[in-house]
Amino acid sequence: MDGPKAAKKRKLTDKTLPNAVLQHPDFAADSKMYQDLLEMERKLDWTMTRKKVEVQDALVRTPTTTRTLRIFLSHTVTGQVWQAGETAPAEGGEAAVNFETGQGIPAWAIRIEGRLLEPPNQRAKDKVTPRKFSTFVKRMIVELDRDTTLYPDGNIVEWPRAQPAIPPLDGFTIRRTGDQPTNIRIVLHLEHFPEQYKVQPDLANVLGIKEESRIGVIQALWNYIKVQSLQDKVDRRMIRADEYLRPIFGADSLMFQRIPELVNRYLMAPDPIILHYTVDPAVAPPERPSAWDVEVRTEDGAMKSRMANVMQTSKESAQELTKLDEEIALHAQSLHNSHLKRTFLQSFAEDPAQFIQTWLASQSRDLESILGSGPSEGATVRAEELRRSEFFTLPWVEEAVAVQEGFRQAAKGMQ
């Protein structure tokens, strides 16, 4: 037979003080300070719990921000007339030309690059891995203004990001042969998060926004409805149109659940970013690339990282807080025990004989409540139990004898 398992130690959680201690004039100031700390702790715990729920809800929606994307355009040239001195001439005084490899043929290459600028005053620990330039491009079209009789092919280059297997790129390079100046038109359709739309003028003039996400437009329209008090007083599902919304609704009223459907009719694809660049192979390329800054809506990785850190509680901090709570509860329980001891001894000191009689009567009632349900005076102790020797070997007997012996010694000392 296995021995009895050790009882699991129960953790104390009550941190309140006895009323006698709180109301005692000698401890009034300290008790008030302790009560204020408990109240502050409750408010702090409630606030932290509420904020964690808000942060958790924000993480589900994915925080976004507006960042600056800097686009760089540059070009290089090879095999041009003014570069003939850099290569060794072949027989006949002309530069060597290899039509198979393209060496010696006049050519140029344009480089389209971009990077996301770091926000100001960003902490080092909040930095995230920078995204590649191609992840911000939904579609790109490069139009080369060249003579189609001399260059019939390759005057339009298109890059749609349609294949997810293509790895992200830092930039794009387009190479062409030629020695004549070429005007280049670059059309960029940027990838926003959340996806942005251009609002048609009819709705844009009412809401005061030209480009926004679908959710942003719906929220702006709802804010306008609330500010103008257009919600029906009786049927809250009905929206009454004013003079500005009536042409948009096409009626005097609209049901609330039809607002997203209405907004979708006034959303269009946003205008692309159009950049112009000129390649002149007859002169040396500029030392520095040309740069353009455009705004792009993207996921706020730094904010998301900070919010995720708020949700994570370190194991060491949790253990330390638990240990402090247990110590406070232990001290509070110690005050409870001290208060009970003081009350017990104070009652005993005031009238020992009456105290003993009262205490014995209380113990007798408790014993009768445990052993049976009959009248007092010991009648509830069943006779068959009294005849058994095992009844007097129970743990309560040893405790009762020790208590009685303690009172006997105390009474003897007072004589």
Give residue 199's pLDDT: 96
Q: Check if the beta carbon of residue 281 is closer than 8 Å to that of residue 80.
A: yes
Tokens of 240: 């009454």
CATH topology of domain 196-268: MDM2 (1.10.245)
Q: Which residue do the tokens 């790109």 mark?
A: 140
Per-run averaged pLDDT (10 residues), the chain, 415 residues: 48 73 82 89 88 78 88 94 64 55 81 91 76 92 90 85 76 92 95 93 94 94 94 92 94 93 95 96 93 92 74 79 87 84 85 85 74 51 59 69 68 58
Q: Check if the beta carbon of residue 108 is closer than 8 Å to that of residue 78.
A: yes
CATH number among 2.60.40.1970, 3.40.50.300, 3.40.50.720, 3.10.20.90, domain 65-84+99-192+270-299 = 2.60.40.1970
Collapsing DSSP states into helix, strand and coil, what is residue 77? strand
Give residue 415's pLDDT: 53
CA distances from 231 to 161, 170, 209, 215, 263 (A): 44, 50, 22, 20, 17
In this structure, the strands spanning 211-213 and 196-199 are antiparallel
One-letter amino acid of 243 = E
Q: Which residues, including other chains, have CB under 8 Å from residue 345's CB and lie 6 or more apart? A: none
One-letter amino acid of 54 = E
Q: Check if the beta carbon of residue 289 is closer than 8 Å to that of residue 283.
A: no
CA distances from 372 to 377, 380, 390 (A): 12, 5, 17
Q: Is residue 133 exposed (0-12), middle (13-18) or buried (19+ Cβ within 10 Å)?
A: buried
Collapsing DSSP states into helix, strand and coil, what is residue 314? coil
159 strand-pairing partners? 140
The domain segmentation of the chain, as residue ranges, is: 19-24+315-409, 65-84+99-192+270-299, 196-268
- Determine the Cα–Cα distance for residues 134 and 140; give it in Å rounded to an integer: 10
Q: Which long-range contacts (CB under 8 A, 24 or more apart) does 385-392 make?
A: none
- Determine the Cα–Cα distance for residues 388 and 381; give it in Å rounded to an integer: 12
Residue 361: count other Cβ atoms within 10 Å of its Cβ. Answer: 11
Q: Check if the beta carbon of residue 65 is closer than 8 Å to that of residue 300.
A: yes
Q: Which helix (H) or strand (E) holds 298?
A: strand 290-299
Give residue 208's pLDDT: 93
Tokens of 79: 């095999």
Tokens of 246: 């009536």
Q: Which of 203, 202, 227, 199 is nearest to 213 (CA)?
A: 199
- Determine the Cα–Cα distance for residues 126 and 306; give it in Å rounded to an integer: 7
Give residue 261's pLDDT: 94
Q: Which residues, including other chains, have CB under 8 Å from residue 377's CB and lie 6 or more apart? A: none
Q: Which of 196, 199, 201 is nearest to 244 (CA)?
A: 201
Eight-state DSSP code of residue 336 = H
Collapsing DSSP states into helix, strand and coil, what is residue 316? helix
Eight-state DSSP code of residue 84 = G
pTM of the model: 0.64
Q: Which of 98, 100, 103, 97 is nearest to 78 (CA)?
A: 103
